[in-house]
Amino acid sequence: MGFAEIFVATHDEALKRAAALESGGDVAGAAVRIPGISDFEVEQLGDLAGTAVHAAGADYELAMVDVTSDALLGVPAAMVRALSELLSYESEGEGNVLDDVAASWAAQEDMPFGVEESRGYVQQLAALAADVEKSERAGLYVWSV
């Protein structure tokens, strides 16, 4: 079963990390590794987050970063913003937006985890996105097999 690893890095750091992951080597640095999903499920999360923060319709499609690795994809700025906003988004009487997104994500077809595990992943990914928002040079990347 494959996995997706989501991490914050500069472009060069992302390429180095991708090369290490592809060779099966150890990688250092903060990342969220989610077993049993691919880049497709990450895109689904972006759509759900965008809808939750009233930014539906933006481009949440992951994009190839470099021809040297087709497993390394960049997260578009719109998705980074939407994920980051989950940490602080306030809705009028709609409950906790992050919890709602996590529940919706876990309910997607063939998701390998339940709501509680999904909430932990969404919380971690939102925190990574917030780190990207504070940085001038870093981006959010997905590597999946």
Residue 27 has pLDDT above 80, yes or no: yes
The band of 81, judged by pLDDT with boundaries at 50, 70 and 90, is very high
Q: What is the pTM of this model?
A: 0.93
What DSSP letter does each residue of 13-50 carry, written as one string?
A: HHHHHHHHHHTT----S-EEEEET--HHHHHHHHHHHH
Domain boundaries defined on the chain: 3-144
Stretch 78-100: mean pLDDT, rounded?
A: 85
At 129 the three-state DSSP class reads helix
Q: Residue 144 has what pLDDT?
A: 94
Q: What is the 3-state secondary structure (H, E, C) of 60-73?
A: CCCEEEECCEEEEE
Number of Cα atoms under 13 Å in the Cβ half of residue 41: 29
CB 38 within 8 A of CB 2: yes
Q: In terms of Cα–Cα distance, which of 8, 6, 62 is closest to 32? A: 6
Stretch 100-120: mean pLDDT, rounded?
A: 96
At 12 the three-state DSSP class reads helix
What DSSP letter does each residue of 52-108 carry, written as one string?
A: HTT-TTS----EEEETTEEEEEEPPHHHHHHHHHTTT---SSS--HHHHHHHHHHTS
Stretch 69-77: mean pLDDT, rounded?
A: 95
Residue 111 has pLDDT above 90, yes or no: yes
Give the span between the Cα atoms of 22 and 16, in whole angstroms.
Answer: 10
